[in-house]
């Protein structure tokens, strides 16, 4: 059974790029356009990896991760932040919220795939 | 225009296109934009501002239709033959990534900024209105498939 990845980003173009990269490697991809939709989809089906942006409407990435970490099924599921900003303060906030790692946009799709493989293993 | 501001913007934009689209555009000489210079032909612009205690800046990335469709084909699956919602979204994301990268570099030099969300302009023969009294620098970029340009203004507060 294919490993499932939830990609949460308000940019349809970024979701399309990430989905194409991961699906070509055999992953099942579930998409959400903001943190609230991401949380709803994560509740409906437990995934093996979450990739999320930070700045999104309705619910941002940090808030979504905090909510995910409060769910028993997501205590240890890796969550990778995928953002344009990566200052130390922001990384500290992400870590405090429960993020496992960080990949800065722009990203090389191959590097994203390698990180996903490492985190799901 | 302070090169300490414009250089990180150029470097970041080239890094975005190289990393995500495997494109290596060349660029020409900068010039001062006249306030009422209209963008001719069909284009797509991502306009953003950076606001900080030390300075404010306004940056616009303007792609010809041919250029943004070529970038979309290089970055995304599928064929793109016209400017649609995905292409518009992509232009906003390119502006966001280019300015986000420049913001990170400027922070290392002690300049702290807040980035606005990109405003997207799509159409033919339009005016890009920057909210500044400072001179606006226009820098053209070239690809065989189509051209684009950056407009930037920087004003110390």
At the topology level of CATH, where does B3-156 sit? Chemotaxis protein chec (3.40.1550)
Residues ≥6 apart with Cβ < 8 Å to A81? A51, A52, A53, A54, A61, A94, A99, A101, A102, A103
How far CA A31 is from CA of A89, B9, B24, B69, B129, in Å, comes to 28, 31, 31, 24, 35
Sequence ranges of the domains in chain A: 4-120
pTM for this model (two decimals): 0.91
pLDDT tens-place string over residues A54-83: 989 999 999 999 999 999 999 999 999 999
Using CB atoms, pick whichever of A16, A106, A108 lies closest to residue B76. A16
Q: What is the DSSP letter of B118?
A: P
* CATH number for the domain whose boundaries are A4-120: 3.40.50.2300
Residue B54: the pLDDT is 85
State the average pLDDT over residues B144-155. 94
**Is residue B115 classed as helix, strand or coil in its secondary structure?**
strand
Angstrom distance (rounded) from CA A119 to CA A92: 20
Which is higher by pLDDT, A69 or B36?
A69
Residue A96 has pLDDT above 70, yes or no: yes
Contact B90 A13 (CB under 8 A): yes
Angstrom distance (rounded) from CA B80 to CA B26: 23
- Chain A residues with CB-CB distance to B72 below 8 A: 13
Residue B1 pLDDT level (bands cut at 50, 70, 90): low
Residue B75: the pLDDT is 95
Contact B89 A85 (CB under 8 A): no
Contact B76 A11 (CB under 8 A): no
Contact B104 A85 (CB under 8 A): yes
Residue B19 pLDDT level (bands cut at 50, 70, 90): very high
């Amino acid at each position: 059974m294919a490993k499932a990845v939830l990609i949460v980003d308000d940019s349809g173009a970024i979701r399309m790029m990430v989905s194409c990269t991961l699906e070509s490697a055999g992953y099942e991809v579930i998409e959400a356009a903001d943190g609230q939709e991401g949380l709803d989809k994560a509740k409906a089906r437990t995934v093996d990896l979450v990739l999320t942006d930070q700045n999104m409407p309705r619910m941002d990435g940090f808030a979504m991760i905090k909510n995910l970490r409060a769910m028993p099924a997501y205590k240890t599921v890796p969550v990778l932040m995928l953002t344009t900003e990566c200052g130390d303060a922001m990384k500290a906030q992400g870590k405090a919220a429960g993020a496992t790692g960080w990949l800065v946009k722009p990203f090389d799709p191959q590097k994203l795939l390698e990180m996903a493989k490492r985190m799901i293993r | 225009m302070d090169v300490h501001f414009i250089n990180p913007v150029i470097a970041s934009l080239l890094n975005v296109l190289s990393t995500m689209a495997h494109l290596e555009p060349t660029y020409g000489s900068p010039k001062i934009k006249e306030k009422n210079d209209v963008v001719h032909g069909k284009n797509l612009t991502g306009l953003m501002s950076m606001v900080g205690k030390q300075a404010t800046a306004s940056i616009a990335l303007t792609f010809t239709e041919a250029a943004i469709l070529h970038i979309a084909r290089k970055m995304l699956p599928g064929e793109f033959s016209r400017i649609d919602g995905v292409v518009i979204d992509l232009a906003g994301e390119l502006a966001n990534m280019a300015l986000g990268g420049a913001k990170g570099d400027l922070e290392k030099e002690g300049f702290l900024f807040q980035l606005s969300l990109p405003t997207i302009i799509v159409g033919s023969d339009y005016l890009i209105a920057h909210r500044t009294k400072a001179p606006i620098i226009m820098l053209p970029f070239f690809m065989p498939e189509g051209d684009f340009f950056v407009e930037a203004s920087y004003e110390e507060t």
